[in-house]
């Protein structure tokens, strides 16, 4: 396997805000790599730097061996990108949008026409190829953008929140496309998302990123295994007392989150009655109990002490959002 992307100590500052803080990782050819984190964590900034849209403050990165600062054109030719916000010309038809892109990348007319047909079939938009994009739904636009991003046969595809704002059905559809694409064409895909399920379903490896720093990087399976098995969540007003009495050798870890006691352990089903018995003996009222297999949400929670969605509405987050809007 060859290496498609190398990132080393990449940093981006906006005045006194460090958006991306010394991140390093490598992506192999054909791999789907996810940057998972809350809004404002630095995912889009990282992608923008790799796509030569923003200059890093320090550090360095290469895409297909090309330096993102010294060989911008080389990088641009090697990558396809689907932005978080729409970037189609709504006044043009689907085919015209594709054609414009093909011309910009200097694809010869004959090949251009063939590929446009092929890709529009792939994303199931061929019947609408001569319709103005303005009449397209959100999902159709996304699919068109992905098709357009592939037109010049990039070896690396950047997807920034590819399924943001789409309905579950379209989202599922897109996931299938993306997975099939990377397999068939051996394209490396780097995608950002704040949907846990998306990262879990699609990615070969995931970097969890928060406040500009990578806090964990591994396969989804390893990340989930790393937090110590199944999770039992007990909601109780006496959560502190509960946490002190639950000391058993089979408990791998125990965390308090709001009014919940979260216990990680193997074979949760076998131990649940024991736990309830212990709590009853100490006369602790239990509001609810649940068992689930660990998800990436649990991984994020265990690393950061918060859930991914809580970030929204946070003060720092607002500032970042504001900054991002200004940059658009």
Partner 1 sequence: MDIIYTIWLRNMIRYMRSKSRIIGSISMPLFFLLFLGFGLNSVVNIPGFGENYIQFLIPGMVAMSVLFTSVFSGIQIIWDKQFGFLKETLVAPVTRLEIMLGQTFGGATTAVIQGIMIMVISLFVGLKVQSILGFLIALGFMVLIGISFTAFGIAIASRMEDMTGFQLIMNFVIFPIFGLSGALFPISSLPSWLSPITMFDPLTYGVEGIRYGLTGVSQISPVVSLAVIGGFACAMTVVGTFLFRKISI
Q: Which residues contact partner 1 (rule: CB under 8 A)? A: 51-53, 73, 76-77, 79, 81, 83, 85-92, 96, 100-101, 103-106, 148, 327-328
Q: How many Å apart are CA 283 and CA 224, to the nearest integer?
A: 33
- Minimum distance between the CB of residue 259 and partner 1, rounded to whole angstroms? 43
CB-nearer residue toward partner 1: 51 or 150: 51
- Minimum distance between the CB of residue 257 and partner 1, rounded to whole angstroms? 38
- 179: which residues sit within 8 A by CB, 6+ positions away? 32, 201, 202
- Minimum distance between the CB of residue 13 and partner 1, rounded to whole angstroms? 15
Residue where the block lists tokens 């791998």:
252
Which residues on adjacent β-strands are paired with residue 7?
A: 25, 61
Q: How many Å apart are CA 170 and CA 295, to the nearest integer?
A: 22
CB-nearer residue toward partner 1: 136 or 300: 136
CB-nearer residue toward partner 1: 258 or 328: 328
Q: How many Å apart are CA 225 and CA 241, to the nearest integer?
A: 28
- Minimum distance between the CB of residue 240 and partner 1, rounded to whole angstroms? 50
CB-nearer residue toward partner 1: 75 or 301: 75
**C-alpha separations of 148 from 112, 183, 258, 297 in Å:** 11, 18, 45, 32
- Minimum distance between the CB of residue 100 and partner 1, rounded to whole angstroms? 6
CB 306 within 8 A of CB 258: no
CA dihedral sign, ordered 123, 127, 132, 137? negative
CB-nearer residue toward partner 1: 4 or 231: 4
**C-alpha separations of 266 from 69, 235, 244, 249 in Å:** 48, 20, 20, 11
Closest CA to 264 of 220, 302, 232, 295: 232
CB-nearer residue toward partner 1: 164 or 215: 164
- Minimum distance between the CB of residue 181 and partner 1, rounded to whole angstroms? 20
């Amino acid at each position: 396997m060859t290496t498609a992307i190398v990132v080393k100590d990449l940093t981006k500052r906006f005045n006194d805000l460090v958006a991306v803080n010394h991140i390093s990782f490598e992506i192999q050819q054909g791999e789907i790599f996810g940057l998972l984190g809350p809004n404002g964590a630095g995912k889009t900034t990282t992608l923008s730097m790799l796509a030569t849209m923003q200059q890093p403050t320090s550090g360095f990165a290469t895409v297909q061996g090309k330096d993102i600062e010294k060989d911008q054109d080389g990088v641009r030719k090697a990558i396809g990108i689907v932005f978080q916000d729409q970037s189609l010309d709504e006044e043009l038809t689907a085919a015209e949008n594709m054609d414009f892109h093909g011309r910009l990348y200097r694809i010869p007319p004959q090949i251009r026409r063939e590929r446009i047909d092929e890709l529009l079939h792939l994303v199931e938009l061929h019947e609408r190829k001569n319709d103005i994009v303005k009449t397209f739904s959100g999902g159709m636009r996304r699919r068109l953008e992905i098709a357009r991003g592939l037109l010049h046969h990039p070896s690396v595809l950047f997807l920034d929140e590819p399924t943001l704002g789409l309905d579950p059905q379209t989202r599922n559809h897109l996931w299938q496309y993306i997975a099939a694409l990377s397999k068939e064409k051996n394209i490396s895909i780097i995608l950002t998302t704040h949907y846990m399920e998306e990262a879990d379903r699609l990615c070969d490896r995931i970097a969890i990123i928060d406040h500009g720093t990578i806090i964990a990087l591994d396969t989804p399976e390893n990340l989930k295994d790393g937090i110590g098995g199944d999770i039992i969540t007990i909601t109780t007003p006496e959560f502190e007392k509960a946490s002190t009495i639950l000391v058993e050798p089979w408990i791998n870890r125990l965390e308090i989150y709001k009014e919940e006691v979260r216990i990680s352990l193997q074979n949760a089903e076998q131990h649940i009655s024991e736990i309830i018995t212990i709590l009853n003996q100490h006369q602790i009222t239990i509001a609810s109990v649940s068992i689930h297999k660990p998800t990436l949400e649990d991984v994020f929670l265990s690393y950061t002490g918060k859930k991914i969605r809580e970030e929204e509405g946070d003060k720092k987050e607002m500032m970042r959002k504001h900054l991002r809007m200004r940059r658009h």
